[in-house]
């Protein structure tokens, strides 16, 4: 039941290309600290100055990230995934397996857990935490049985009147021969439709990548939240680039054009709230991130539980039915 202890890759130090200025300052700082440790000269002044400068540089850098840079952060290998959040936000998590039809998909996990005294059904995409596990989890790309397991667990939660939280983090539903033959499209379609009629509160959180049908297949809820450095769109910037620009080289441009960041999604009225991440991204303070998310979930749950089921369903439908922009021909 418990997730294996997480061995962070050289991790904290897995810097992204655009983080180079910070990486350099951090290296300077550790040199200064080594000098200080040797005790021959006192560099505590320069250390404090360097720390201030690093903080300032970080604040500046992370406050003006481009769409593509946020995509990079959302895919950082040390980012927390569903099982991490569940372990750190809840107690008594029991993972439940299988779609009762074909198999148990490893790219979507789910089960009951205790969140501040109440049972909640958690369902989410799960990426692997090392090379071997990434294969095992199929890189967070679910097959139809993953979506069918998710729906089975949602109906189970509904039957026993327990709220549902889904955590979305997928580069897409898996595009394979068997996935097609087992009805990838039908599985996603049915989830979307059925989620609109669930009588219990449903909160959706984009915690990493929110790619297209693979995301929305567990993405219908009374609240849709996005962590600060995540993305959500109809296609990944790379695929968009390859289709519209006929080359993989325009992913930065595609990321901008798609307006896939949490900020843009909130501005366009497609999500309800942005959950702030620790400075530099969720992977810089994983426990801190889980704590923030936990508090956010509890606040929304409380609001939603004050409504009766039919009102929730009606509002849920109205909310999604109003999405989009169109005009009238004169």
Partner 1 sequence: MAWFKRSAAGVTTATDEKREAPDGLWLKCPSCKASVLTKDLQENLSVCPKCDYHHRLGSEGYFGILFDQGIYEELDADLISLNPLNFKDTKDYGDRLRDARAKTGLRDALRSAVGNLNGFPLVVACMDFDFIGGSMGTVMGEKIARAVDKARALRCPVLVISRSGGARMMEAAFSLMQMAKTSAKLSLADREGIPYISLMTDPTTGGVTASFAMLGDLNLAEPGALIGFAGPRVIRETIKKDLPPGFQSAESVLESGFLDLIVPRHTLKETLARLLSHLRP
Q: Give the interface with partner 1 as residue ranges (CB under 8 A).
A: 173-177, 179-186, 188-190, 192-194, 196-197, 212-213, 216-217, 219-220, 232-235, 239-240, 243-245, 254, 257-260, 265, 268, 270, 316-317, 320-321, 323-329
> Which of residues 123 and 220 has its CB atom nearest to partner 1 in the complex?
220
The SS3 assignment for 93 reads strand
The three-state DSSP-derived secondary structure of 268-295 is: CCCCCEEECCCCCCHHHCHHHHHHHHHH
**Which CB sits closer to partner 1, 25 or 260?**
260
Q: Which two tokens stand for residue 258?
A: 């798609």
DSSP, collapsed to helix, strand or coil, labels residue 43 as coil
Q: Is 18 or 196 the residue whose CB approaches partner 1 more closely? A: 196
Residue 52 CB, nearest approach to partner 1 (Å): 39
Longest dimension (CA), the chain: 81
Question: Which residues contact residue 21 at a Cβ distance below 8 angstroms, ignoring those fewer than 6 apart?
Answer: 57, 61
| Coil, strand or helix at 251 | helix
The smaller minimum CB distance to partner 1, of residues 73 and 258, is found at 258
- Minimal distance, residue 96 CB to partner 1, in Å: 25
Distance CA 177, CA 228 (A): 35
CA atoms within 13 A on the CB side of 47: 12
Nearest distance in Å: CB 182, partner 1: 7
Nearest approach in angstroms of CB 126 to partner 1 is 20
263 Cβ contact partners less than 8 Å away, ≥ 6 residues apart: 274
Shortest distance (Å) from residue 202 CB to partner 1: 12
The smaller minimum CB distance to partner 1, of residues 39 and 326, is found at: 326
How many CB atoms sit inside 10 A of residue 44's CB?
Answer: 11
Instruction: Work out how close the CB of 241 gets to partner 1 at its nearest, in angstroms, rounded to a whole number.
Output: 9
Which of residues 271 and 290 has its CB atom nearest to partner 1 in the complex?
271
């Amino acid at each position: 039941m418990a997730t294996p202890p997480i061995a962070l890759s050289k991790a904290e130090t897995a810097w992204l290309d655009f983080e180079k200025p910070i990486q350099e300052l951090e290296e300077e700082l550790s040199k200064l600290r080594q000098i200080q440790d040797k005790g021959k000269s006192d560099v505590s002044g320069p250390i404090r100055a360097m720390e201030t400068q690093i903080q300032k540089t970080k604040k500046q850098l992370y406050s003006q990230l481009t769409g593509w840079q946020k995509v990079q952060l959302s895919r950082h290998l040390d980012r927390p995934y569903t099982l991490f959040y569940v372990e750190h936000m809840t107690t008594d998590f029991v993972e439940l397996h299988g779609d009762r039809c074909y198999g148990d998909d490893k790219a979507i996990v789910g089960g009951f857990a205790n969140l501040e005294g109440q049972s909640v059904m958690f369902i989410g995409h799960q990426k692997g935490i090392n090379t071997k596990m990434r294969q095992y989890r199929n890189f967070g790309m679910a097959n139809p049985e993953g979506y069918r397991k998710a729906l089975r667990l949602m109906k189970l939660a509904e039957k026993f009147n327990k709220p549902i939280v889904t955590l979305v983090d997928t580069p897409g539903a898996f595009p394979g021969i068997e996935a097609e033959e087992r009805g990838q499209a039908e599985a996603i379609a049915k989830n979307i439709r059925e989620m609109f009629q669930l009588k219990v509160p449903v909160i959706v959180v984009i915690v990493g990548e929110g790619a297209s049908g693979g995301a929305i297949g567990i993405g219908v809820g009374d609240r849709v939240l996005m962590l600060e450095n995540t993305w959500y769109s109809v296609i990944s910037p790379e695929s968009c680039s390859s289709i519209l620009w006929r080359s993989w080289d325009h992913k930065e441009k595609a990321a901008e054009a798609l307006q896939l960041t949490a900020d843009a999604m909130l501005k366009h009225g497609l999500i309800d709230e942005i959950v702030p991440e620790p400075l530099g991204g969720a992977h810089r303070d994983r426990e801190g991130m889980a704590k923030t998310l936990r508090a956010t979930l509890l606040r929304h749950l409380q609001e939603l539980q004050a409504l009766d089921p039919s009102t929730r369903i009606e509002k849920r439908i109205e909310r999604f039915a109003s999405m989009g922009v169109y005009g009238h021909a004169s």
